């Protein structure tokens, strides 16, 4: 894997396609085994989670529903600290086990906001799966039930994650350190 230059910034290879594939499979099987006989609704947080969601759900051999929620909390390399809900949720969540699908959890602000909204909508049980977690900066109030890779506080792109709109289509994950 070679380095990539996006918006004049150099990104170096970090997690390759095969490692991601193996991890996604493992997470899928874990979720499948833990959640049999539940009324399952996956809520994918757009935009970054679209690739992970597509791969993860195809590793789960259960009857499941999926919805998409769109938020934005990042501009460029630094979090703006503001979490905005852009697209609301119309599903009735009463009696459902909701599994939130995140590409990456950073400070946890986005996640806290999503969980609060889902609780208001009456979700019976809420679980979270995130492909990437930055434990050094995580300040959220909810335990991440299914963790993919714990990573340092570097900015990463690829596999759905972007830097100012670019990089989502990369098959592997890359990082920049400055
Ligand atoms: P949080 O609210 O601070 O946890 O930020 C979560 C959101 O910020 C994610 O859903 C991403 O959209 C974005 N984000 C956080 N870290 C990164 C990163 O390293 N690369 C790309 N996007 C990121």
- For residue 127, tell me if it sits in a domain: yes
- Nearest ligand 1 atom to the CA of 140 is 4
What b/e string do you get for 118-156 counting C-beta neighbours within 10 Å, with b at 16 or more?
Answer: beeeebeebbbbbbbbbeeebebebebebbbbebeeebb
**pLDDT score at 30:** 98
For 15-44, what is each residue's pLDDT tens digit?
999 999 999 999 999 999 999 988 899 999
* Inside any domain, residue 5: no
Residue 145, in any domain of the structure: yes
Q: What is the pLDDT of residues 140-155, one digit of tens each?
A: 999 999 999 999 999 9
Closest approach atom of ligand 1 to CA 47: 12
Ligand 1, CB cutoff 6 Å, lining residues:
48, 73-74, 79, 83, 102-111, 155-157, 161
Residue 167 lies in a domain: no
Q: Please check whether residue 66 lies inside any domain of the structure.
A: yes
Distance CA 35, CA 65 (A): 13
Per-residue pLDDT, averaged over 77-81, amounts to 58
Range of the domain at 93: 18-73+81-150
92-105 mean pLDDT? 92
Catalytic residue, candidates 106, 145, 162, 164: 106
pLDDT, one tens digit per residue, over 58-72 is 999 999 999 998 875
Q: Kindly report the protein residue whose alpha carbon is nearest to atom 9 of ligand 1.
A: 104
Give the nearest ligand 1 atom to 113 CA.
2
Q: Determine the distance separating the centroid of ligand 1 and the alpha carbon of 105, expressed in angstroms.
A: 6
- Residue 63 inside a domain? The answer is yes
Mean pLDDT for all residues in the chain: 90
Q: How far is the CA of 18 from the centre of ligand 1 (A)?
A: 23
Q: Given this model, what pLDDT does residue 159 score?
A: 98
Q: What's the CATH code of the domain at 67?
A: 3.40.50.2020
The tally of domains found in the chain comes to 1
SS3 state of residue 125: strand
Determine the distance separating the centroid of ligand 1 and the alpha carbon of 165, expressed in angstroms.
13
In a domain, 134, yes or no: yes
The alpha carbon of 27 and the centre of ligand 1 are apart by a number of angstroms equal to 20
Look at residue 1 and give its three-state secondary structure: coil
User: Does any domain span residue 172?
Assistant: no
Beta-bridge partner residues of 147 = 130
Q: Is 106 a catalytic residue?
A: yes
């Amino acid at each position: 894997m070679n380095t990539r230059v996006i918006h004049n910034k150099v990104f170096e290879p970090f997690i390759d396609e095969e490692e991601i594939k193996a991890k996604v499979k493992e997470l899928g099987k874990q979720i499948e085994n833990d959640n049999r006989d539940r009324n399952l609704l996956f809520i994918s947080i757009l935009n970054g989670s679209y690739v992970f969601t597509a791969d993860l759900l195809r590793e789960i051999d259960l009857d499941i529903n999926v919805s998409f929620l769109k938020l934005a909390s990042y501009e460029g390399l630094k979090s703006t600290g503001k979490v905005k809900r852009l697209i609301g949720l119309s599903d009735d969540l009463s009696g459902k086990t909701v599994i939130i699908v995140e590409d990456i959890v950073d400070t946890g602000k986005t996640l806290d906001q999503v969980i609060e909204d889902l609780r208001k909508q009456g979700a019976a049980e809420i679980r979270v799966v995130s492909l990437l977690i930055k434990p050094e900066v995580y300040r959220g109030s909810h335990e991440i039930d299914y963790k993919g890779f714990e990573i340092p506080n570097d900015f990463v792109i690829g596999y759905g994650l972007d830097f100012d709109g670019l990089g989502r289509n990369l098959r592997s994950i890359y990082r920049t350190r400055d």
